[in-house]
Structure 1
Amino acid sequence: MFSGITYQVKWAWEQAKEYKSELILFFILEIIAIACSLYFVIWSKHAIDYAISGDKNSVDKALVLTVLFIVAGLVFKAWGAWINERTRAKMLISLQNKLIKIQMLSRWKVIKNWHTGDMQIRINNDANEIVQMIGNSFITFFITVIKLVASFALLWSMDPMLALLILAISPLFIFTKIYFKKLRAINRSLKAAESNLGKVVQENLRFRMALRALGLQNFRWRKVEDSQSDIYNLKMKLLNFSTVSQSSLKFLINVGFLLTFIWGVYKLRSDEITFGTMTAFLQLVGRIQGPLLLLMSFVPVFIKFRTAVERIEEVFKTEVEDEYVPEFINDPNELVIKNLSFKYEDNLVINDFNLRVKVGEPTAIIGSSGKGKTTLIRLLLSLIEPNRGEIYVKAEGKTVPITHNHRVNIAYVPQGDKLFSGSIKENIMTDTENVSPEKIYEVLYLSCSEFVYELPEGLNTIVGESGYGLSEGQAQRIALARALMKENSIWLFDEVTSALDQKTAETLIERLMSAAKNKIVIFVTHDLRLADKCSQSVYMQ
């Protein structure tokens, strides 16, 4: 799918270009902290040697410098960590916002390729792993290599043979191709299993009431258990693999420390080194083995990063709609659909459809299921593009072809629950500000939503996900009130009376017809009472 590690690293750094100065500063502070730690080793060695030789003045100086370097190292380390945490927080928000916007703007034909549960895993987990790698792990890797090389060089300057022995027993197997391939295969499978669980959980929570009503709760619960079992088995596989490799590493680390200790004792006994040098040996071996352990931990993080990049790149390649730029149409007098045709793949849904809707002449679109009514709505909203034909509005002697930028002119009420969690007032107002109580009452009246004022909390009544807490008919009318809040010149209502009782439906139709005299109005409906009130009815066959 990708050209390899080089491409993925370049892609990652491209995401970090806005934060390069902060990342470079973090790198510099970490280098300074390394230098301070090495000078601490050097001066602590001198302090011990001076103390043994009885050079009191030099001991005091060496101790002061020892303390100075360790404190300075801690300060630079803490400063760098603070900068890095802040930078990664900003990077994560930026990457997550890009992914969310891509999904919000993705074209209708590709939306079906993405499941909400899977996308939540990608936006949260995968994005976080990428940011962790870009903002911290990459830099930490290079810093660790520098620390390793610097410590090795200092040890070499003291005893080349010991340095070579430590290098010879280093666990370099962690960088072999076999190790990488095995770890990557397990991580890919684990990511896929986590995404599958996300899908199952999202659906189970979204339809939890329906599942109980349909008697499907046990069936869907087994899917949760099966998904969790798959994840557990893969995690155990990863744990077993990691335990074997880490145990081998720690064994070699302990062998290295023991070798250094024995080597130092024999050298100390033969007066080839001082006691200060012996302590420096032990400190430097720790500073060589510590980076090796960090490099070992970098490998699985890097494998996760590569898998996460693949998954995020798939999202980035999603076909999206151009950014929305509102274009208002002043005083439209007619909407025209001319020779319109559309097909999904090889299935022709709309064929040579024509329609004219004038201001003040409400139109009902009627047809049985699967005859293209929903497709027509998507075409009118420019969510999809026709294979042939055109849709335009006549206004002030001009013809304006409808695009997604013209949605600002359309008051659309979708079928089904389309409310957001929050208060009823928040659902009605959306991005509208400074609305008078009179305007709110007007749209509630037009939509037959006066019941809101009878609720204990009124407009501040909290609505749950997908309108939970309201009846289907109440949620439908609140969605209508939201659409009527803006002074749109075109009304497009999908099954606006489907969840209402006869009396409420008749009242709603009467109020809407009275308010629609200067609007272009289209009702997509099965309600023949509503169709009879319209100036024309069009049957889609």
Structure 2
Amino acid sequence: MKKEKNKSYIKLLKYSKKYIKYQKIPLILAPLLLLVSIMTPFLIRYFIDDIIGKNKFSQILPFFFFFVLVVLLERIISFFVNYGYYKSMNLVVRDEQISMFNKIMMIPLKDFSHNKVGDFMSRVLSDTLEASFFLGTGISLIFYNFIQLIIVSLVLLFLNWQLALITFIMMPFYYFSLRAFDKSIQKSSELERNTYSELTEEFREKVEGLWSIKSFCKETFFSKAFFKKSESWVGAKNRLSKLNQGAEDFMSFMYELTPVLVLGYGGYLILKGDTTLGTLIGFYAYLGWIFTPIRNLSNFYIQMQRAGQVSNRIFEIHDMPVEDRGKGKSFPVDEYDITFENICFTYQNLPILKDINLRINAKEKVAIVGTSGAGKSSLVNLIPRFYEPSQGLLKIGSFEVKEYDLEQLRKNVKIVRQNDPLFNMSVKENIMLGDEFSEEEFNKAVKKAKVDKFIDLLDEGYDTVVGERGSKLSDGQRQRVAIARALIRKPKILILDEATSGVDSQTEEEIFEELKEYDMTLIIISHRLSTIRKADKVVVLKDGEIIGEGTHNELVESSPVYKEIIESQLVM
């Protein structure tokens, strides 16, 4: 366990090297700050022993101004050093959040589906803040404080070795106090992070399910459930805070006890004539400088326990697999038949598709039907490689889909789903998504998707911001915007997975009539008979297997399952 923990810290320290570039100002100015601070005990000793002790009244005012300048210079340098640390930590948070966001964008959907969105949010938005102190200050802080500890120790020894010895004797107590709290802080930190992730996920889930909660009048029920999660996190957080504060106060006790011992023994040395009052006061004034690096390193050690926990959660995202980008082949211009050869697909150890053999010709219109859970969506998700088959070959044209450049593949294969979310942008921005299209292309896409039929009802037309997940639009309106978003990009293969379920029959009829003008393969998953009848071919799935293939009329005659689906589920 200890070896694993040490490996984690070493990994974290090595990883922090990439952020040294943000610590240049503290690294440069911190030694200068230390040099300026060294003047303080000697100036105090000189003032008491050589000015006050020898009645040099004329030197008091010049000394005063000089000392003020030294203190002012010290504070100015200290400002830039500490601001440099804060700035470094903030830049680390920014870089880590961007890096983790980009990584999440690149992981396969099957791996993303295994994780809770709330947990991702906690790691990206909260854990990065926790780790920023270590990552943003670690190397420079360790280096500077060790140097400070050595130099201050030498200065104290120079001033009075006996008082310095008392100070050094007290230092090991810091180490033992840390060891006493170490394991408890580590366990409490891990528990607090896990409970906070659960709280974040609880909040996300209930907010997204607000419609259902209100529909069933379950506000109080779920409020109590959220309260329990919050209470669990507060309990874990309080335990961690108690341990952190206990460690902090014990070290503070050591810090406050040492000056008392120094003053007591220093007074004894003065009475014996072994030291001067100026030396004692100078030593006492500078004593805090040796405890500053000890306190900093002690706090850093405590923070390291915390960072060790959260960094593992951060590294888990960094270490997640990314999508295979393919072998760089260009998508075919004309020959883009889709061929499934003995395709099997397993998801979370459950067989979803079994021995699928299917050919969809280029520019063919195909409908896929089946009962819920038959594997329809899984089947089409294999085409743009959102999922990878567990077995078999999936080809477009002459090559397997995994040989095509992934970006080119997805630019030419578009899926529009029943609940494709819109982003909190305008209608036009949701369609364009930052790409450049001509006004003519835009107008054609919104006309074909029948967005133009409702756009005048919106206050600002195409510039209307649709709200989170398109909340200001109806289901049918959101679906039409999503269809326009796909059509404007002129895909070779368009897959509509219940993409018109919220659209009225007449508008749906008009959309499919418009789609005839496009020279592309159209794959439709639908429960509407009027939609299925428009297909050149219908494929029937049941329990992950193809049990029928042909035209609508042929299947009505030859497939009892298809006929049953038609009679029980489709609107005729």
| 1:20 aligned residue | 20
Q: Give the deviation of 1:453 after TM superposition.
A: 2.8
| 2:464 aligned residue | 461
- Determine whether 1:319 maps to 2:321: yes
Distance 2:531 2:287 in 1: 85
Contact 1:43 1:63 in 2 (8 A): no
Distance 1:393 1:270 in 2: 96
TM-superposition CA deviations, 1:190-243 (whole Å, max 9, x none): 111111101101111222222211333323222211111112212222333334
Distance 1:25 1:131 in 2: 17
Over the aligned positions, Cα root-mean-square deviation in angstroms equals 2.6
Q: Give the deviation of 1:40 after TM superposition.
A: 2.7
- The residue type paired with residue 154 of structure 1 is V
Match of 1:288 among 262, 287, 290: 290
Contact 1:268 1:274 in 2 (8 A): yes
| 1:232 aligned residue | 234
TM-superposition CA deviations, 1:147-194 (whole Å, max 9, x none): 233223222222222222223334325555342001111111111111
TM-superposition CA deviations, 1:458-500 (whole Å, max 9, x none): 0111112222011111111111111111121111111122112
Aligned pair count reads 534
TM-superposition CA deviations, 1:101-124 (whole Å, max 9, x none): 222222233223321111111112
| 1:46 aligned residue | 46
Inter-CA distance 292–78: structure 2 relative to 1 (3 Å threshold): same
**1:500 alignment partner, SS class:** coil
TM-superposition CA deviations, 1:426-449 (whole Å, max 9, x none): 11111322431x322211121121
**1:422 alignment partner, SS class:** coil
Distance 1:80 1:254 in 2: 26
Contact 1:338 1:355 in 2 (8 A): yes
**2:337 alignment partner, SS class:** strand
Distance 2:249 2:82 in 1: 29
Query: What fraction of aligned residue pairs are identical, expressed as a percent?
Result: 23
Inter-CA distance 81–279: structure 2 relative to 1 (3 Å threshold): same
| 2:565 aligned residue | none
Which segments of 5 or more consecutive residues in structure 2 lack a partner in the other structure? 543-572
Distance 1:520 1:180 in 2: 63
Distance 2:293 2:385 in 1: 56
TM-superposition CA deviations, 1:324-360 (whole Å, max 9, x none): 8794432345332233222235533222223232344
Q: Give the deviation of 1:528 after TM superposition.
A: 1.6
Contact 1:425 1:460 in 2 (8 A): yes
Match of 1:188 among 187, 190, 204: 190
| 1:402 aligned residue | 401
Match of 1:302 among 304, 307, 314: 304
Distance 1:458 1:2 in 2: 62
Contact 1:87 1:135 in 2 (8 A): yes
Which segments of 5 or more consecutive residues in structure 1 lack a partner in the other structure? none
Inter-CA distance 383–467: structure 2 relative to 1 (3 Å threshold): same
Distance 2:103 2:355 in 1: 33
Contact 2:12 2:308 in 1 (8 A): no
Distance 2:189 2:18 in 1: 29
- Determine whether 1:534 maps to 2:535: yes
TM-score (norm: length of structure 2)? 0.86
Contact 1:428 1:481 in 2 (8 A): yes
Structure 1, 90-99 or 450-459: larger mean CA deviation: 90-99
Aligned 1:58-457 pairs, distance under 5 A: 66-170=67-171, 171-174=173-176, 176-323=178-325, 327-344=330-347, 346-394=349-397, 399-403=398-402, 404-405=406-407, 406-436=409-439, 438-450=440-452, 451-457=454-460
Distance 1:409 1:342 in 2: 23
Inter-CA distance 182–195: structure 2 relative to 1 (3 Å threshold): same
Q: Give the deviation of 1:244 after TM superposition.
A: 3.6
Contact 2:177 2:247 in 1 (8 A): no
Q: Give the deviation of 1:79 after TM superposition.
A: 3.1
Distance 2:241 2:131 in 1: 22
TM-score (norm: length of structure 1)? 0.91
- The residue type paired with residue 399 of structure 2 is V
TM-superposition CA deviations, 1:75-128 (whole Å, max 9, x none): 433333344344333332222222112222222332233211111111122122
Structure 1, 162-171 or 48-57: larger mean CA deviation: 48-57
Distance 1:123 1:346 in 2: 29
**1:4 alignment partner, SS class:** helix
